[in-house]
Amino acid sequence: MVSASDFRNGLTVEIDGTVYQIIEFQHVKPGKGAAFVRTKLKDIINSGVVEKTFRPTEKFPSAHIDRKNMQYLYNDGELYNFMDPESYEQISIDQATVGDAMKFVKENEECKVCSYNGSVFSVEPPLFVELEITETEPGFAGNTAQGATKPATVETGASVQVPLFVNQGDKIKIDTRTGEYLSRI
């Protein structure tokens, strides 16, 4: 059991038969009245986000989420196929479940497949990936006072903003959580 005063970002709890992941929380102690915990919760099954408040003494059962490292094999149009590197068991996950998580992930990279009671609800890509620029306009040095950016397409087909000095064929490092350029390799 987890009390509302112990809430942390990323924690999963079961509230009224629904499994939620805590996105944000805030302990509030008003001048008058009792303290409370304001939270933003994500339903892990249908991805809906709700805001709720709780008394700090309320307790909820924690939900055990299985995160398993799996190798991304390929996308056949509608399904993303993954393989367990230990048992070589393969699973297919539909586009709706994966969402935008795979836009920076190449084939054969490891991802975390998240499930609750055997039902897959999301895929977590690696935090950082190294990709090659397949298409970008040439940049002209010296035409800006601040660090300007330009759009570039990477080998997975995703678009990312890069500095002007990055050229086609360069390998870059990308943060998959934000989709931001980090460095040139």
How far is it, in rounded angstroms, from Cα 183 to Cα 123? Answer: 25
- Reading the chain (185 residues) residue by residue, the pLDDT tens digits are 888 888 988 788 988 888 898 888 999 998 888 999 999 998 887 778 899 999 989 999 988 888 899 999 998 888 999 999 999 999 999 888 887 888 889 999 999 998 888 888 888 889 999 999 999 888 666 656 567 888 999 998 899 999 888 888 999 999 988 888 999 88
**8 A C-beta contact, residue 111 and residue 129:** no
What values do phi and psi take at 98, rounded to 5? -75, -40
Tell me the CATH number of domain 2-60, given options 3.90.79.10, 2.60.40.10, 2.30.30.30, 1.10.10.60: 2.30.30.30
pLDDT the model gives residue 142: 60
Instruction: Name the CATH topology of 66-124.
Output: OB fold (Dihydrolipoamide Acetyltransferase, E2P) (2.40.50)
Residue 71 is classified by DSSP as E
pLDDT the model gives residue 122: 81
Instruction: Name the CATH topology of 128-184.
Output: OB fold (Dihydrolipoamide Acetyltransferase, E2P) (2.40.50)
- According to CATH, where is 2.40.50.140 located in the chain? 66-124, 128-184
pLDDT the model gives residue 37: 92
pLDDT the model gives residue 86: 92
pLDDT the model gives residue 165: 86
Q: Which of 92, 101, 94 is nearest to 125 (CA)?
A: 101
- According to CATH, where is 2.30.30.30 located in the chain? 2-60
pLDDT the model gives residue 145: 58
Which tokens is 181 given? 């350029």
Which tokens is 150 given? 């330009």
Q: Which of 154, 163, 157, 156 is nearest to 182 (CA)?
A: 163
Q: State which amino acid sits at residue 58.
A: E
